[in-house]
Amino acid sequence: MKILLVRMSSMGDIFHMYPAISDLKAYHPGAELHWLVEDAFVSIAEWHPDVDRVISISLRRWLKARNSNALNEFKTWKKESIKLGVYDLVIDAQGLMKSAVISRCVTAKTIHGYDHGSVREVLASFAYNKKHRVNRNLHAIEQNRLLMAAALEYEPQGQPDFGIKEIFAPSNTKDKNLLFLIGTSKDEKLWQIDRWAELAHMGSKNGYLIELIWGNDKEKSLALEIKQKFSNVLIAMERLSIVEVAEKLCSATGVVGLDSGFTHLSGAMEIPTVALFGPTSPDRFGLIGNKTINLTQMHELSSARVWEVLQDKILGGKKAMDTESA
């Protein structure tokens, strides 16, 4: 059985697909799974050991350009997709018009997706041969697991298995180190600079090395502002690759991060992680696992409260709720 999974972006959503892929191969170990993703996320999709092939697409760039060159590139990609052969199933786990259109570009016996009451964009459901009802109020990870299970006719069991815990080997260093993932996609999701600095001071005072991780020039500026408030933090002067960040996460004692892809990766790697959520509800997009916790109302959160919860996760103390309000 040959399957194409369409879930092209974004980084956090890619990580949210991992447990569904683990389920698929557990119930159908002989299935051949291909995964179609945006070119920026090819390496991340390749991390999951149950993915047989990753197919890249530059749809974001084409849609942004909207010119003849972009159209020609898309036409070339579509012609090349014919060479992939015939898929027994295509599963559109993104549920958008653009993903539905791309799902129709390959040769497939059936195309599966969410029904009109479950899909993110209603018109997308008309592209599917097989439509499945999934509760939209469930966490995105569970939605993905249930869609995959409905398409392949099995019942998912147990806790989500991200399948990548052993991908990156932790270093042999015995240093106590904390990573702060200070960046996110929107300004309203940022935490105050003073509170990052206060948290870094608390960590340093307790014997931890503190490193700030940034992903673009704006985030680098934020990191430098935090360093002005508390100089005893580490900052890479050059942007780290996705793999380099993953390696640092794997060797971290603990992580504090905002609503970002790397924070979700930290949780998937089963690293003690505190995720700070502002306008986005963690009910559907928060971290899952005994070593993670989602703190809401982040703009009211004190550094002392975040430190208390982080220590609880690192030390394996009392079991905290999956989501907690300050």
Neighbour tally for 284: CB within 10 Å: 15
Is pLDDT of 320 > 80?
Answer: no
pLDDT at 159: 92
The residues facing 241 across adjacent strands are none
Tell me the pLDDT band of 225, cut-offs 50, 70 and 90: very high
Is pLDDT of 171 > 70?
Answer: no
Is pLDDT of 172 > 90?
Answer: no
> What is 3-71 written as a DSSP string?
EEEE----HHHHHHHHHHHHHHHHH-TT-EEEEEEEGGGHHHHHHSTT--EEEEE-HHHHHHH-SHHHH
More confident residue, 62 or 316: 62
* CATH 3.40.50.2000 segments of the chain: 2-152, 177-325
pLDDT at 175: 80
Nearest C-alpha neighbor of 289 from the set 250, 259, 252, 316: 316
pLDDT at 170: 60
pLDDT at 323: 43
pLDDT at 166: 77
pLDDT at 13: 95
Q: What is the mean pLDDT of residues 237-256?
A: 93
Residues 210, 269: Cα–Cα separation, whole Å = 19
pLDDT at 174: 62
pLDDT at 314: 93
- What region, left, alpha or beta, does residue 74 occupy, with left being phi > 0 and alpha being psi -120 to 50 degrees? alpha
pLDDT at 318: 41
84-126 pLDDT tens trace:
999 999 999 999 999 999 999 999 999 999 999 999 999 999 9
pLDDT at 325: 44
125-140 pLDDT tens trace:
999 999 999 999 999 9
Q: Name the fold adopted by 177-325.
A: Rossmann fold (3.40.50)
Whether domain 2-152 has CATH 3.40.50.720: no
More confident residue, 175 or 27: 27
Is pLDDT of 326 > 50?
Answer: no
What is the value of pTM for the model shown?
0.90
For the chain, first and last CA: distance in Å? 48
pLDDT at 43: 93
Is pLDDT of 32 > 50?
Answer: yes
